[in-house]
Structure 1
Amino acid sequence: MAQNVNSYTINGTNIIIKVSDYVRIRSNDPKPYTLVARVELLGIEHQMALIRWYYLPEETEQGRKSFHGIKEVFLSNHYDVQSIHTIQGKYVVYSLENYMNLKRVGVDDYFFRFEYNYVKKCHVDVFVVVYCECEMPYNPDLFIVQCDGCKCRYILSKYHQ
């Protein structure tokens, strides 16, 4: 991409997209679904953006698990070049800790705690906080959880009070 710029205004809106923003990408699929990406570079000359994809749990080989939150996405090593005209708006992607500290979760708020290797189709080994004897990660959307594995019960009180 020649002549990189720091920002781009979505046509017909006052939404300014900058490098490092999390964005909503228009899908080509007839059934609309969430496409979350991070803008890495903006090239206005060719009207292209280099983006880094975030995956929904159900888009991975492992699929959605009981501990995945409704608004959970996985940071991937999948980079792509998209037309800037496919950018429809902004999202905010938080770390799990910052997400849990939100007073109210908005429609455009997401969180991540896992990384996904797009090439190997697996999660990257990362440290994840667990609150269970069998080391199952917790689902931040649930107030009281009983682990299906060890029947351990724990409460996520700070998030839901």
Structure 2
Amino acid sequence: MKKILIVLSLLFIINLGCKKENIGGGGLCACSPITPPPPLSLVIKNNADVDLLNPKTTGYFDKSQIQLYARDANNAIKQISFEIRQPFTYTANLKLDYYQLISSEIPYLAKSADQTFYLKLGDNMLYELNLKVTNNIVDKLLIDKKEALKEFQTGNNSYPDAIFRLKIS
């Protein structure tokens, strides 16, 4: 009986001592859920704000026409995985009507803003991407050394804050 009381008391004390995520200023511990960081998400539009990833658009970019990659120290190309996400509604008053190119891999690979990634659209459009990543969240995206605008600004580091816009002229 004493052993059971000691074990239950020990479990109670350990549970109280474990810091939960974002409670009491502590970080994660073994009993906190792990939430993956939001992926880099890129909306690709032309100057008329037409979605160039939408299959219904004339001249759209199919996934097979898009390459996302980096070059290693030996100048070899390393492909980075990505998907094309359909439009979605995030909250009742926040709806994204555009398809997005998303990559969950690129925030993990971006070690510094000096590291360059490449986005190739079609046969002849090549863009250099530089990411500023803080705690696996993309804070800033530079496309050809110019800061990309965000599609939304919620200010709470949620998924919509990681959706950037690429305008093609």
- Short-chain TM bin: under 0.3
- Which of the pair has the greater relative contact order for Cα pairs under 8 Å at 6+ separation? 2
TM-score by length of 1: 0.25
Which structure is larger by alpha-carbon Rg, 1 or 2?
A: 2
